[in-house]
Amino acid sequence: MYSKIIYYNSLSNLLSVLVSCLYQPITTIMYKITLCLLMASLFSGCGIDYEGSTKYIFKGQITDRNGQPIPDIEVATFVDNGHASDIIGYDRTDGNGNYLMIFPKARNVETSLYINHEFYGSNTNSNYSGMEVVGIEQESIENYTINFSITKLFRNDDAVNLRINLVSISNRSIIKIRPLGLVQYSEIEYDPDFFGTVDNEDQYFDPDNRLYYVVAKNQDLVIKYVLQDNTVHDVHVPVGAEDLTYNLEY
């Protein structure tokens, strides 16, 4: 949406420049035409490129951890090409917790699904957790539809704090780590094989090697991590009804 606003405002400016050329000397006209072409090239390269004839469908259901549907939960599809971003799909769950979004194909973008997430939402449900599904490749979507099936959220009053201390017992470093389970604002790969891919954002850690999360009580949490040799590891951590500190040796 923001990229569209930039584009429209830029187009208006370009038209104003072109109209002013009618009353200028030829050298000034040529200069302004060249400037217009440069501006047009700049802004066309920064926007999201859509293929209007191709539509995709994202659908699924949101429930609580006991399987009961949660109505009126925000769900959005977000795309980013490194220069511009946009929310191209939006819905709120119905009485059965179902959502459905239909939107045009966007070329050369990273696609994410945000569920009750404060990143984009102004009307998130503060009673429940939020999450993000990342690594959705639009080019690989079969039959133009993804059914995310059931996504479970937990109540924020049914949560505890998890602190993970990273304890090195080898000469290798952790370059990516994520707790998997019922985790507030968790980031889940749509394709599980994508977890081994590391980007710059994954390589940030607290200077004291401490990580903090809000997680649902009484669950078997999995901490998954990637070492600098690109090997993927996981460890199961039982979470009870009290705040927890876990020392992860690697």
Q: For residue 51, how many other CB atoms are within 10 A of its CB?
A: 11
The pLDDT assigned to 194 comes to: 57
CATH of the domain at 67: 2.60.40.3330
Shared domain for 71 and 133, answered yes or no, is yes
Shared domain for 127 and 141, answered yes or no, is yes
Shared domain for 32 and 58, answered yes or no, is no
Q: Which of 7-11, 30-34, 221-225, 231-235 has the lowest mean pLDDT?
A: 7-11
What's the whole-number mean pLDDT along residues 147-165? 96
Shared domain for 167 and 206, answered yes or no, is yes
Range of the structural domain that residue 101 is part of: 50-153
Q: Which of 129, 153, 177 is the last residue of a domain?
A: 153
Structure tokens belonging to residue 248: 């992860």
Shared domain for 79 and 134, answered yes or no, is yes
Shared domain for 54 and 19, answered yes or no, is no
Q: Express each pLDDT in 104-150 by its tens digit.
A: 999 889 999 999 998 765 689 999 999 999 989 877 788 999 999 99
Q: Which of 153, 171, 205 is the last residue of a domain?
A: 153
Q: Which of 121, 153, 185 is the last residue of a domain?
A: 153
Number of structural domains the chain divides into: 3
* Beta carbons within 8 Å of 180's beta carbon, 6+ residues apart: 186, 188, 221, 222, 223, 224, 234
Helix axes 2-20, 26-46, angle to 10 degrees: 170
Shared domain for 8 and 34, answered yes or no, is yes
What's the whole-number mean pLDDT along residues 144-173? 94
Shared domain for 71 and 131, answered yes or no, is yes
pLDDT at 180 over 60: yes
CATH of the domain at 240: 2.60.40.10
What's the whole-number mean pLDDT along residues 71-75? 96
Contact status, residue 66 vs residue 116, Cβ threshold 8 Å: no
Q: Express each pLDDT in 185-200 by its tens digit.
A: 998 888 866 555 555 4
Whole-structure pTM over 0.85, yes or no?
no
Residue tagged 């995310």 (tokens)? 148
Distance separating alpha carbons of residues 97 and 203, to the nearest angstrom = 35
Shared domain for 7 and 35, answered yes or no, is yes
* Beta carbons within 8 Å of 89's beta carbon, 6+ residues apart: 58, 76, 77, 101, 102, 103
Distance separating alpha carbons of residues 43 and 79, to the nearest angstrom = 17
Shared domain for 63 and 87, answered yes or no, is yes
Q: In terms of Cα–Cα distance, which of 131, 104, 105 is closest to 119?
A: 131
Q: Give the mean pLDDT of the chain.
A: 81
Shared domain for 30 and 54, answered yes or no, is no
The pLDDT assigned to 13 comes to: 45
The pLDDT assigned to 36 comes to: 42
Shared domain for 199 and 211, answered yes or no, is yes
